[in-house]
Amino acid sequence: MSVREVYVGRLIRVEVHPLPSGDHDVVRHPGAAGVLPITPTGDVLLVRQFRPAIGQHLVEIPAGLLDQREEDALSCAARELREETGYRHRTIEFLGGYYSSAGFTDEYVHLFLATTEERPEGEPEEGIELLRRPFAEMVAAARAGRVRDVKTALALLLAEGRLRAPGGGPAVR
């Protein structure tokens, strides 16, 4: 029995995989990258934007889809930081990544940690509200389960571990 492609959209494809236990839907996704930007004073830059899939606004790290021009994850993270916040990175490094829901999709999200300048070079993208919060406050919120976006919570917790390591990065408060 062979895999059937049942939907092709602008960003995703849906396949049906025959299994002994019954058909299984699989969503093929191009992947994404997110970046946790930290300013020289130890604040994190977050974006608040409307998410149609849940019908609500979410507070998140800047992130976006790997675009169709075969953009690599690092370039995507740097681009999203600039577009969504107006800030450019001084340094940027890979933090880790995760499969968002391996039970039905192959979406993989690459996470990065960046340091920025103190001030932005431009304006945030239309429809985005830029938020600036102390790093420690946001790590505490993630630990308490108050950060509802998984990429943001995971990036905060991974960054906390990285920054506490000897020679780990920018001073954070």
Mean pLDDT of 104-122: 97
Residue 5 shares a structural domain with residue 50: no
Residue 44 shares a structural domain with residue 20: no
Report pLDDT for 169: 57
Domain-embedded: residue 173: no
pLDDT-above-90 percentage for the chain: 90
CATH of the domain at 57: 3.90.79.10
Domain that holds residue 90: 31-99+106-164
Q: Taking the model in full, what pTM does it have?
A: 0.91
Angstrom distance (rounded) from CA 86 to CA 22: 48
Sheet holding 13-17, edge to edge: 4-8, 13-17, 24-28
Q: What DSSP character marks residue 6?
A: E
